[in-house]
Amino acid sequence: MSIKVSLPDGSIKEFDSPVTALQVAESISMGLARNAVCAEIDGVPCQLDQVIDHDVSFKVFTLKNDEGLAVLRHSTAHLMAQAISHIWPQAKFAIGPAIKNGFYYDIDFEGAVVAPEDLEKIEKEMEKIVKANLPIIREEMGRLEAIEFFKAHGDFYKVEILSELDAETVSLYRQGDYVDLCRGPHISSTGKLKVFKLTSIAGAYWRGDTNNKMLTRIYGTAFEKKAELDEYIMRMEEAKRRDHRKLGKELDLFDIFDEGPGFPFFFPKGMILRNTLEDFWRHEHMLAGYQEIKTPMILNQALWHRSGHWDHYKNNMYVVKIDDEDFAIKPMNCPGGMLAYKRKPHSYRDLPERSAELGTVHRHELSGALHGLMRVRCFTQDDAHIYMTPEQIESEIENVVKLIDKVYKVFGFNYHLELSTRPEDSMGTDEQWNTAIDALKSALDKLGKDYEINEGDGAFYGPKIDFHLEDSIGRTWQCGTIQLDFQMPERFDLTYVGQDGEKHRPVMIHRVVLGSIERFIAILTEHFAGAFPLWLAPEQVVIVPISESQADYAHEVCQKLLDLGIRVRVDDRNEKMGYRIREAQLQKVPYMLVLGDKEKQNGAVAVRNRKKGDCGVMSFEEFAQKLAEEIATKSMDM
C-alpha cells in the first residue's frame, strides 16, 4: 500500500501505511513538527493526530501562519469559556469563534451582570487552567446523542445549533471539566495558551436577531509571544487615542445623538472638512471624464423588484407608503442610475458613459452593529456607474484602478487588492460570471497589480475588486470597490445601438473610490489623529496677537488671508498668549501666527507650526506663498 501526500511546493511524500498529520510534518522537518499547530488535508483543517490513509493534498500550519494563530485564538476562547463556567456555573455558551486580531464568545449569564472590571477575574481563572496544562481532546459523538448530552447540561444554544446540522456525527472538545461543541482543530493542551488578554464586553443578540435574547459578548486576543501581545496592546491604546468618535467631539466636527442612533450630525468645522473632501472628489472625477448626477431618495417598490434588491436586501431597507403605494428609501444608488441612463437612446459612439453621484442612502443596520461614522444608517456613497461595450471593459477597469490609486496616494495610503468571485446567492449565467471574472483578472494583471482571490464573496450581480487601504498605525480598511455587472443592464433593458445598426446590451461597472464619505472621514480622522494636512484642515491658521495693541494688525492679516481663500480666525480673547497657543495646538490647527509690536511694525508674522514648533519670522507674502504651495501640492508634511 502506498499513500501519496502532496505538499504545497509540488513535492510528494510517500508512505507505506497510514500516518498522522504530525508524522507527515516530522517527515518534512522536526522543527516544523515541533512548531506545528494544525494541518489541512484536502482543504479541510484538522488536528495533528488526524490519520491519513489515502492520497491527499497536505499543508501544515504554525503560529507564524494566520491559520495557526486562528487555532490558538479559538482554543483561547474555549479557555475563557471554561474559566467563566467555574466562576458563573449557571452560564450558557452560544458561539465562540476566532476573528481577526482575536476571538469572542457570546454567553448567556442567566441574570448575572458581568462588567469590564470582571475581566481581570476571568483572566486569573484562565491562568489557573493554563498552569493545570489540561489536554484538549477531540471526541466524536452521534448528533442525536450530542443533543441529549447538551440538553442534560441545559445548553440549549448548542441544542439549537445541533438541531439544524445535517450530519450523523459531530465533534466535541474536552478539557478537564469543560466540554464544547466544535469542529476544531485546537491546540493540544491548555498549557500552551499562556499569552492572552481579555479586551472588552459588548451586547449581541443571539444569531443577530433582535427578536432573540441579548447575550454578553466578551472579546479577547492571544499571541504566541508576550512581546507580540504588548505590541498589540500598545496599538490598541494608540487606536483609542485616535478614536474618531472622541476626536469628533473634541474638535467639534461631528457626533451622533440619542435622538438619531446611526444618523450622524456634522457641525461647521466638520462640514468644511466634508466639503473640501467632496470638492477634491469632484475635481478628480471631472479630470477623469465623469459627469455628476443626482437621483431621488425615495423610489417605488416596483423599481426595487426590478433591480433585485427587494429579494436580496429587503430586510435592510426602510419602506414607506405614499398615496397608497409602497415606496422604499434607497439603500443603494444603482437603480436610480439605471433610469438616468435609460432616459435617452445611446449609440456605441456615446460609450463609455461615466456617471458619478454623491448619493445619500439609508440602510437598516442593527443597533449593536452601529459604530460612530464607521457603521451608520444614513451615509453618502461616492458612487459611479460606467456603461460600456464589452470591448471597453478592460480599459475602463484599468482607468478606475488608476483613479483610485491616484486618490489614495494623495492621503498617503498604501493598499492591497482582493478579487471576489461568484457567491451562492447570485443572478446570471455561468458564462456571464466567467467572462466578468476573467476581465477583472486580465485588467489587474495588465496593470501589474498583486491581488488575492476571495472565493464566493462577490455581489449578487457580479464579481468585484476591493481596495483595502492601510492607515498610519497598520490597520486596514475596505473602501474602494469595482463591481462588474451584466445583470442590471439586463433587468432594466438598457441598450445602445452598435456599429451594425442593431441594439446591444451595455456592460456596466459599479464603483466607489472613498466608499462612504462618512466612513472615509472617520478613517482620515484616525489616520491623522485629527491633525489633518493643511489643505483638509477645517481651520488652517489661527492668529494670536500678544496684546490688545496688535489686535487691529491681527484682523488686517486675517482679512488678507481670507481674501486668499485661507480658513483663518483671530484669537484676541483676554487670555494669556500661552493659553491661546496651547488651545490652538489642542485643536490641531496647522499654523499659528503670533503677532507682537515688531511684527506689526515690519508687516511680518511670527510663524508656529503644529508639528515643528517655532518657524521664525516671515514676511506676510512669504508666509502666504508657503501656504499656497502646501495647499496646491496637498502636502502631508504636517
Q: Are strands 476-485 and 507-516 parallel, antiparallel or unpaired?
A: antiparallel
Residue pair 130/185 in contact by the 8 Å Cβ criterion: no
As a whole number of angstroms, the distance between CA 32 and CA 261 comes to 51
Q: What are residue 197's DSSP bridge partners? A: 221
pLDDT tens profile 371-398:
999 999 999 999 999 999 999 998 999 9
3-state secondary structure of 174: strand
Is 385 annotated as catalytic? yes
Q: Between residues 425 and 352, which one has the greater pLDDT?
A: 352
Chain region(s) in the chain for CATH 3.30.930.10: 258-295+331-527
Is 445 annotated as catalytic? no
Q: By mean pLDDT, which of 127-141, 262-276, 426-440 is the weakest?
A: 426-440
Contacts of 501 (CB under 8 A, 6+ apart): none
∠ CA 331-335-338, nearest 5°, is 155
Residue pair 524/470 in contact by the 8 Å Cβ criterion: no
Chain region(s) in the chain for CATH 3.30.980.10: 68-241
∠ CA 420-423-429, nearest 5°, is 105
Chain region(s) in the chain for CATH 3.40.50.800: 541-632
Assign 638 a pLDDT band (cuts: 50, 70, 90): low
As a whole number of angstroms, the distance between CA 201 and CA 605 comes to 51
Question: 184: left (phi > 0), else alpha (psi -120 to 50), else beta?
Answer: left
Contacts of 34 (CB under 8 A, 6+ apart): none
Neighbours of 75 (CB within 10 A): 28
What sign does the dihedral 407-409-412-414 (CA atoms) show? Answer: positive
Q: Are strands 196-205 and 178-181 parallel, antiparallel or unpaired?
A: unpaired
- Residue among 382, 383, 485, 572 flagged as catalytic: 383
Tally the residues of the chain.
Answer: 638
How many CA within 13 A on the CB side of residue 32?
Answer: 16
- What is the CATH architecture of 258-295+331-527? 2-Layer Sandwich (3.30)
Residue keyed to cell 436586501: 313
- How far is residue 12 CA from its own chain's centroid? 39
As a whole number of angstroms, the distance between CA 114 and CA 523 comes to 32
How many CA within 13 A on the CB side of residue 121?
Answer: 10
Contacts of 507 (CB under 8 A, 6+ apart): 387, 388, 389, 390, 392, 393, 484, 485, 486, 489
Q: By mean pLDDT, which of 1-5, 49-53, 78-82, 541-545 is the weakest?
A: 1-5
68: amino acid identity, one letter = G
CATH of domain 3-62: 3.10.20.30
Tally helices (H) and strands (E) across the chain: 20, 35
3-class SS letters over 285-296: HHHCCCEECCCC
Residue pair 622/632 in contact by the 8 Å Cβ criterion: no
Assign 424 a pLDDT band (cuts: 50, 70, 90): confident
How many CA within 13 A on the CB side of residue 106?
Answer: 16
Contacts of 309 (CB under 8 A, 6+ apart): 317, 331, 332, 335
pLDDT tens profile 141-199:
999 999 999 999 888 999 999 999 888 899 999 999 999 999 889 998 999 999 999 99
Residues 586-592: what's their mean pLDDT?
96
As a whole number of angstroms, the distance between CA 50 and CA 218 comes to 31
Is 510 annotated as catalytic? yes
Q: By mean pLDDT, which of 119-123, 126-130, 424-428, 442-446 is the weakest?
A: 424-428
- Residue among 50, 381, 392, 550 flagged as catalytic: 381
Cell numbers found for residue 518: 462618512
As a whole number of angstroms, the distance between CA 4 and CA 17 comes to 10
What sign does the dihedral 224-225-231-233 (CA atoms) show? Answer: positive
Crossing angle of the two packed helices 66-87 and 119-132, in degrees rounded to 10: 110
3-state secondary structure of 373: coil
Residues 299-322: what's their mean pLDDT?
88
- Residue among 363, 422, 527, 608 flagged as catalytic: 363
Residue keyed to cell 492621503: 411
CATH of domain 541-632: 3.40.50.800
pLDDT at 20: 92
- Indicate whether 637 pLDDT > 80: no
- Residue among 362, 385, 519, 567 flagged as catalytic: 385
Residues 272-278: what's their mean pLDDT?
97
As a whole number of angstroms, the distance between CA 143 and CA 168 comes to 5
- Indicate whether 460 pLDDT > 90: no
Q: Between residues 47 and 272, which one has the greater pLDDT?
A: 272
Assign 313 a pLDDT band (cuts: 50, 70, 90): confident
Q: Which of 508, 545, 558, 534 is nearest to 333 (CA)?
A: 508
- Residue among 464, 527, 580, 600 flagged as catalytic: 464
**Phi/psi of residue 425, nearest 5 degrees:** -90, 80
Residue keyed to cell 472617520: 522
- Residue among 375, 510, 600, 608 flagged as catalytic: 510
Cell numbers found for residue 145: 446523542
- Residue among 38, 182, 334, 479 flagged as catalytic: 334
Is 334 annotated as catalytic? yes
- What is the CATH architecture of 68-241? 2-Layer Sandwich (3.30)
pLDDT at 553: 96
pLDDT tens profile 524-573:
999 999 999 999 999 999 999 999 899 999 999 999 999 999 999 999 99
Instruction: Name the DSSP letter for residue 294.
Output: -
Contacts of 89 (CB under 8 A, 6+ apart): none
Residues 324-345: what's their mean pLDDT?
94
pLDDT tens profile 597-624:
999 999 999 999 999 999 999 999 999 9
pLDDT at 419: 94
Q: Which of 491, 463, 466, 500 is nearest to 389 (CA)?
A: 500
Chain region(s) in the chain for CATH 3.10.20.30: 3-62
As a whole number of angstroms, the distance between CA 52 and CA 4 comes to 10
Q: Which of 180, 377, 147 is nearest to 261 (CA)?
A: 377
As a whole number of angstroms, the distance between CA 538 and CA 544 comes to 18
Q: Which of 291, 262, 284, 290 is nearest to 361 (CA)?
A: 262
Residue keyed to cell 483595502: 468
pLDDT at 1: 65
285: amino acid identity, one letter = H
Residue pair 534/612 in contact by the 8 Å Cβ criterion: no
Alpha-carbon separation of residue 53 from 1, 19, 286 (angstroms) = 10, 7, 63
Assign 402 a pLDDT band (cuts: 50, 70, 90): very high
Radius of gyration of the chain (CA): 30
pLDDT at 388: 95
Alpha-carbon separation of residue 542 from 121, 537, 556, 618 (angstroms) = 49, 12, 13, 16
Cell numbers found for residue 202: 459588548
As a whole number of angstroms, the distance between CA 403 and CA 390 comes to 21
Neighbours of 570 (CB within 10 A): 21
